[in-house]
Chain A
């Protein structure tokens, strides 16, 4: 599968490595080229420097041919805008958007975005562990 990952933080880099190791064609986009160091020297995917809410940058990352797009920058709003660009402008079939703010996540899930909210997941899971 051709996958574009926006944001090369811990989650983005880890995901990119896992997917590339499984043989997927992965392109990682980050506005800070130093972030690519997280991918390790043996990373086989493509790297694009730029902001993910710029359609020219996304085109350079091959979004027009991508089968999946994942937005995991540390900015909720950047993820929301990039995910909508991917879905509504570039018609990427599968778009996943990380949103830390649970309220915003609920709104955009309601608007049809496929979202994940690590805040809610983490808090719920910790509570479960505490409850035994």
Chain B
């Protein structure tokens, strides 16, 4: 896929890195020359120096053929405009906006942005130690279909320990696509998989089943 990332700060950097590793064609648009140099030198990413809110910069970036545009600047108003212009002027099929003020999530949804990512929660997910006990961290939410990607850490007293996943009564509209063990081993779980304490679990769940999932894993 051709993915344009607008904003080459921390979020943009790690995002681009992951996307490149996954084999995508990535272009980063960043205003500051210094950040552009870092991105090029360290990631080998294609970088376009310029204001990603400017229509001319977007055109130069080949936004018309982008499959996804991800706006991750530090300013919510810029991210909104980038996504709206990408969608309406360049007909980009999928636009994703980072939001800083959590209250803006509802507004962005109302103004036609499909996917919003709360930077606060994204950062939380990267610093695993600070994930609060007994809590689901929302990585992102697909509002239109009411589905969330959440992350959690299995506590030492979890009632789910040592039992096969298929016996836990996980609702049909909730799946666990990934378990990370010991911070490095990625396990794609199936029915026989048994969770261990401290496992990081990524779950895809309907909003309705979040509470059930919480109960199953935290007791």
A18 in contact (CB, < 8 A):
no
B198 contacts A by Cβ under 8 Å: no
Answer whether A81 and B81 are a contact pair too, CB < 8 Å, given A103-B55, A107-B88.
yes
Taking a contact as CB atoms under 8 Å apart, the answer to whether A53 and B77 are in contact is: yes
Which of A9-17, A33-41, A60-68, A83-91 is the interface stretch? A83-91
Interface centre among A56, A77, A85, A88 (most CB of B within 10 A): A77
Given contacts A77-B53, A101-B54, contact A89 B88 (CB under 8 A): no
Shortest CB-to-CB span from B75 to chain A, Å, is 7
Docked pose: A57 CA to B142 CA in angstroms: 28
Chain A residues 93-132 with CB under 8 Å of chain B are 101, 103-104, 107, 110-111
Inter-chain contacts of B80 with A (CB < 8 A):
77, 80-81, 84
Q: Is the CB of B55 within 8 A of A81?
A: no
Q: How far is the CA of A80 from the CA of B78 in the complex (A)?
A: 9
Query: Is B180 interfacial (CB 8 A cutoff)?
Result: no
* Contact call B88/A84, Cβ cutoff below 8 A: no
Whether, in the assembled complex, B56 has its beta carbon less than 8 Å from a beta carbon of chain A, the answer is yes
Give the interface SS of chain B, mostly helix, strand, loop or mixed.
helix
Mask of B51-62 contacts with A, CB within 8 angstroms, 1/0? 001111000000
A53 to B103, CA, bound (A): 10
User: Which residues 104-118 in B have Cβ within 8 Å of A in the complex?
Assistant: 104, 107, 110-111
Contacting pair B101 A111 (CB below 8 A): no
Pick the residue among B55, B56, B76, B110 that contacts A107 (CB under 8 A): B55
A75 touches B (CB below 8 Å): yes
**Complex Cα spacing A80 to B108, Å:** 12
For residue B104, which residues in chain A have a CB less than 8 angstroms away from its CB?
53
From A81, A107, A110, contact of B77 by CB (8 A): A81
Complex CA distance for A57 and B159, rounded to whole angstroms: 45
Contact A88 B77 (CB under 8 A): no
Contact A78 to B77, CB < 8 A, known contacts A88-B111, A89-B110, A103-B55: yes
Closest 4 CB pairs of A and B: A103-B55, A81-B77, A77-B77, A77-B81
> Which B residues contact A (CB, under 8 angstroms)?
53-56, 75-78, 80-81, 84-85, 88-89, 101, 103-104, 107, 110-111
Give 24 A-B contacts (CB < 8 Å), ordered by A residue: A53-B76, A53-B101, A54-B101, A55-B103, A56-B103, A75-B77, A76-B53, A77-B53, A77-B77, A77-B80, A80-B81, A80-B84, A81-B76, A81-B77, A81-B81, A82-B77, A84-B111, A85-B107, A103-B54, A103-B56, A104-B55, A104-B85, A107-B84, A107-B89
